Amino acid sequence: MEQGRFWRFFRLLSWAALATGAALSLAVALERHRVEEGYRTVELALDYNGAAALAAQEGLPVEEVLARFRREGVAALGVEEYTLEDAVRLGAASVAQGTDLLAPGGEPFVRGRRLYVGPGPQPGPLWERLERRLPAFGVPYHLRGVTVWEVGEELLAGGEEEEDLRPLLTLGPSAEGLLAARRMGWPVVLRLVNPPRAGQAAGAEDEVQELLSLLPPARPGAAVAFASEEVVGFPGREEEVGRAVTRLGYLVAVTEFSAQRGLAALARGAGSRLVRLHQIAPREMPALEREEAARRLVRAVREREVRLLYLRPFLGGPALQAPLSYNLGYVRLVREGLARAGYRLGPVQPFPALRLGGRPWVLLLLVLGAGSAWLLALRAALLWPPQLEATFWAVAALAGAGMAAAGRLTLYWQLWALGVAVLVPAAAVGVAVRLGGAREAAGSGALSGFERWWRALQGLWCAGAVSLLGGLYLAALLSDFRFLLRVEQFRGVKAALTAPFLLLAAWLALRAAAAGGPGGRKAPTPAQAWQGLWALLRTPVYWWQVGALALLGAVGLIYLLRSGNYRWLPIPPWEQELRRVLEEVLWARPRTKEFLLGHPALLVGLYFWRRQANGSGAGGGEPLRAWLPRLLVLMGLLGQISLLNSFAHLHTPLAVTLVRTVHGLWLGSLVGSAVVALLALAEGVKREKRSGAGEAEKVGERKGPEKAGGEGQ
């Protein structure tokens, strides 16, 4: 008896922890929404090299072109580092093919196609910087008293992007760009490249320090971005560089869709002085119209917390007719789109800190609530004995202490968030099955088609509500500004996409095994469940079941290949057009997999599950029809996973995620209801045909004896 009281008290504590965590997650969500609504200033930075090329096309001074862009809202200048081509253009270096150089005997100096770099007519400091970089790329030769460096021909000839060394051979910020920014009174957005072997080569420390010494004092809105796959100082000196950059007054720009090594460590050194930057890569520009590019930039601001837009001018295609006018119109489209979305132009600011988000005591209470939710759900699904709950908490506490001692506490919060992402969607569909599909009121009798649809609809929206609360919980666990700016990310995306299917399938199998079939409604005891499951595993397998599993596996594979930012499968044109229309009409576009697949499948599955509960389903002679609701409900889990996964996109404003969730639910309800109506109509037609055939048979049976009697007379 005492033991029973203890477990009841323990369960009461679990519910209290869950309620406290839920209240805290709502408080963090409200605070985050308030901060995001106040964070509305966007800075437009124009690439200096593109502006200079545009000025050359128009035959105008660069300052005049920049002044025209300033009138359209541009207020910062993007400055890249000098490259080898710039050194040649300025006379600091000279480059020749090997066959152009002759050895003292008059013979060609080399065999094969190679490039040779030497001092130009005006070497100066730029050549000194270049000469310090060249040992990382080439071999020195002494020719007629001059040191010439043999390097790969791809320095100028190019090749595949990953083999192109030109971006690496950089020589500090462009003096021309810095001078233009100073004359305009603009802040600069510097795009820096990590010196070669920054953490390894002798003298690399001096190169990093020299690069930092070339940075001018920062104006409000100035930022530093990184133009290669690693940040300056990688490996080993990232935090030092982050502290140095912020001491100079610069923000650190986190470039979207660019996985730069060392960024997380540099962000620790920079503290909260971070901002998200979006740019369109030069290789993408020729394939875009200015209207599409403007929509992309505005979408990045509205949906992904981007506040710094790096603009490159269009230099070809339609822009060739009137280059300056075309690009001014492009900037005007961006400015007007931002204004319609409620944003204003101005110097960019770092993301404001949250008072509750990321606080240790808040995270601890959220962890207690998340763990309690795990245990309550797993216990209800018969997948976790209550006697092991103390062991669970002991392991969780030891893991937290160990990760804190190792400096990996962020990973600890990420693991708890992953647990929420795995468990909540499966639990949400379990709630829908019990509320909208399998439970039958005592003495209610058979339900009408409308009542079955209404209860199925209630089940779908209850599942959506549970997943939404789980999403807010996940977002609260990862509410530190580093997650909101995507310096740190939610981990385990693929596990969050697949593991809920295994959990739900296990729960459905246990329930079916204990209840004697897929439409059973009894709540099984643990012994009944496991005994029934063993019997289910010994049941013969039909070919249709193998085919259904193969089909589900193919759908799952497509689902995984299309998930994430880097998709292996392209999006078909019809879906791209549908997305564009929905974005324009609904402000926040719902996810296609939710309203076209997941939510309708769950609604239809619950509808037919209810029909089985009424006794109007198929009997033992139709195994496919008997298991169809279960397969549809399992497919419907896709919508709940996608719904919760939207909250794992922490860089998306919370209001956008909430609106997207609601749109997905009501659109999915409409699509699912239309499918239910069509199936019910088809079923009614089929029933009428059967009824007509039955009546004809009865008439024939009556006529048969009459005819026989007449012949006998």
> Does residue 251 or residue 614 have the better pLDDT?
251
Cα-Cα-Cα-Cα torsion 207, 212, 214, 219, nearest 10 degrees, comes to 170
The segment with the largest mean pLDDT, out of 2-16, 29-43, 151-165, 231-245, is 29-43
pLDDT at 130: 83
Q: Tell which residue, 367, 356, 358, 359, has the closest CA to residue 401.
A: 367
So what's the pLDDT on residue 155? Answer: 46
Under 8 Å CB-to-CB from 510, ≥6 apart: which residues?
Answer: 381, 382, 524, 529, 530, 532, 533
Please check the confidence at residue 277 and state whether its pLDDT lies above 90. yes
Look over the chain and give the mean of its residue pLDDT values, rounded to a whole number.
79
Query: Where does residue 98 rank: exposed (0-12), middle (13-18), buried (19+ CB within 10 A)?
Result: middle
Element (H, E) at 311: strand 306-311
CA distance 429 to 22: 19
Cβ atoms of 10 and 371 closer than 8 Å: no
Query: Each residue of 214-241: pLDDT tens digit?
Result: 888 889 989 999 988 888 888 888 899 9
Q: What is the mean pLDDT of residues 454-475?
A: 92
Q: How many residues does the chain have?
A: 713
CB 362 within 8 A of CB 28: yes
Q: What is the pLDDT of residues 557-588, one digit of tens each?
A: 666 566 654 455 566 676 677 777 777 778 78
Q: Is 624 in contact with 655 (CB distance < 8 Å)? A: no
* One-letter amino acid of 710: G
Look-up of token digits 């085919």:
547
Mean pLDDT of the 521-545 span: 60
Model confidence at 108, in pLDDT bands (50, 70, 90)?
very low
Nearest Cα residue to 523 out of 512, 533, 534, 531:
512
Residue 694's pLDDT is 59
pLDDT at 246 over 80: yes
pLDDT at residue 560 in the model: 59
Across the range 111-116, mean pLDDT stands at 61
pLDDT in tens, 120-160: 888 888 888 888 878 777 777 776 667 777 776 544 444 33
Amino acid 670: pLDDT: 95
Look at 346 and 168; give whichever has higher pLDDT: 346
| Residue 625 pLDDT class (50, 70, 90 cuts) | low
CA atoms within 13 A on the CB side of 707: 6
Do 598 and 639 contact (CB within 8 A), yes or no?
yes
Checking DSSP bridges between strand 188-192 and strand 170-173, what pairing results, if any?
Answer: unpaired
Task: Dig out the tokens for 106 from the structure.
Answer: 């008059």
Q: Quick one: pLDDT at residue 521?
A: 46
Nearest-angstrom CA–CA distance, 558 and 163: 32
Do 571 and 589 touch, CB atoms closer than 8 A?
A: no
Paired sense of beta strands 251-255 and 274-279, if any: parallel
pLDDT at 201: 47
Find the mean pLDDT for residues 359-383.
80
Place of tokens 């190019």: 158
How many of the other CB atoms lie within 10 Å of CB of 2? 5
The pLDDT of 434-444, averaged and rounded, is 53
Give residue 541's identity as a one-letter amino acid code: V
pLDDT at 445 over 60: no
Q: Tell me the one-letter amino acid at 685.
A: V
pLDDT single digits (tens) 631-674: 888 889 999 999 999 998 888 899 999 999 999 999 999 999 99
The more confidently predicted of residues 532 and 52 is 52
DSSP class of residue 314 equals -
In the three-class reduction of DSSP (H, G, I as helix; E, B as strand; rest coil), residue 47 is classed as: strand
φ, ψ dihedrals at 140, nearest 5°: -85, 145
Residue, of 399 and 97, whose pLDDT is higher = 399
Query: How many Å apart are CA 506 and CA 430, to the nearest integer?
Result: 11
The whole-number pLDDT of residue 532 equals 60
Instruction: Give the angle 255-256-261 at the CA atoms, nearest 5°.
Output: 60
What DSSP line would sit under 582-598, residue for residue? HHHHHSSPPPHHIIIII
87 contacts 123 by C-beta, under 8 angstroms: no
pTM over 0.75: yes
Q: What is the pLDDT of residues 182-203, one digit of tens each?
A: 999 999 999 998 887 554 544 4
How do the residues of the chain divide into helix, strand and coil, expressed in percent and rounded to 5?
A: 60, 10, 30
**How many Å is the Cα radius of gyration of the chain?**
33
Separation CA 253–CA 276 (nearest Å)? 6
pLDDT value of residue 27:
92
